[in-house]
Amino acid sequence: MGRPLHPGAWWLWALSLGTAATRTTNPLLLALLVAVSAYVVATRRPDTPWSRSYGAFVKLGLAVLLIRLLFAVLLGSPIPGTHTLFTLPEVALPAWAQGIRLGGEVTAEAVTFALYDGLKLATLLICVGAANALANPSRLLKSLPGALYEVGVAVVVALTFAPHLIADVQRLRAARRLRGRPDKGVRGLLQVGLPVLEGALERSVSLAAAMDARGYGRTARVPAAVRRTTAALTLGGLLGVCAGTYGLLTAEGGTYGLPVLLAGVAAALAGLRLGGRRSLRTRYRPDRWDVRAWLVVASGVAVAALLTLASVRDPAALHPGVVPLVAPVLPLWPAAAVLLGLLPAFVAPDPKEPS
């Protein structure tokens, strides 16, 4: 197999697509974003247990969409509408529950608004699922700065919980099918659930023993002056990032927002670099950030930047109206911008090719 792409590049690409999804409610653009992520996952996903989690995130996104539609139907919507689809029996609520409605008229405008809103969240979840399917979590942990290593371990363990759980369920269901036992329905789920839970507990105990044997949590002796400098830089950098972001979001802080933000980021990075001296660990064959990683990240950032620009230049195309109800149209140049996200399918190394 060829040298794999840096896992951080996959995460930045996927998060950029997710950022682009938050800039629009056009269902055609959101569907195009999902199609782009699905194609890249299909062509560049390695054959590993954690890479099979993309389908689970797709199902999770569909569940979120259905729940959002169900809430809009049962609890109503603040969106006014004139096109009534059907009317449910309305439940009378006490006076202290004013503003909440159970049942009543269900309009096409309210359902359409809920569909757009739920589809945006589902697309964001699917983009995160693409990152989980493409990036190796253990290699991502190796790439973190030393100051974030312990936090990174906790995050990686949390991120790998769902892929390992899905792999266990698939393995146990396949074993039950080979034995001629049911693996679907409530009965099959209950009989698979206990072995999955047992496997998760055994994996947790094994992981804890392995971390303890490798000296997880040990730190090097660092002078007090370095510790104080690290704390001051990190805290000051985070405050600078907050102040700079606030300045960029307000009209009064347009002059100082960007310099303060850049200074805060620089101070925080310096603090993280100094904090890495406390971590006693080495990297075996560290992943390199090569030209292909830059191209993958650039494609995702370009999609996010161009859709953000389009939302400012042509908000009607990226946010189709629901009052009055209009059919969404596919804007050409934002759609072309989304297609830039397909670049990793051609420049990223194929995990199935021999080296």
Domain ranges of the chain: 7-143+286-347, 222-277
Instruction: Of 117, 101, 6, give the one whose Cα is nearest residue 61.
Output: 117
Residue entry with tokens 């973190």: 144
In this structure, what token pair is assigned to residue 163? 């892929």
Q: What is the largest CA-CA distance in the chain?
A: 71
pLDDT reported for residue 2: 56
The single-letter DSSP state of residue 279 is B
Ordered DSSP codes for 266-277: HHHHHHHHHHGG
What CA–CA distances, in Å, run from 305 to 19, 20, 201, 249?
Answer: 9, 8, 43, 17
Contacts of 116 (CB under 8 A, 6+ apart): 25, 26, 27, 320, 322
Residues of the chain under the 50 pLDDT cut = 1, 355
Decide if 111 contacts 85 (C-beta within 8 A).
yes
Which pLDDT score is estimated for 1? Answer: 47
Q: In this predicted structure, what is the pLDDT of residue 119?
A: 94
State residue 217's pLDDT score. Answer: 61
Q: How far is CA 160 from CA 10, 124, 136, 138, 208, in A?
A: 16, 19, 9, 9, 15
Helices (H), the chain: 7-21, 27-44, 54-75, 108-134, 137-142, 149-178, 185-213, 224-249, 257-275, 291-313, 315-318, 332-339, 344-347
For residues 26 and 331, is the Cβ–Cβ distance under 8 A? yes
Tens digit of pLDDT for each residue in 188-201?
667 777 777 777 77
pLDDT on residue 179: 80
pLDDT of 292 reads 92
Given this model, what pLDDT does residue 201 score? 77
Report the pLDDT value the prediction gives residue 158, as an integer from 0 to 100: 66
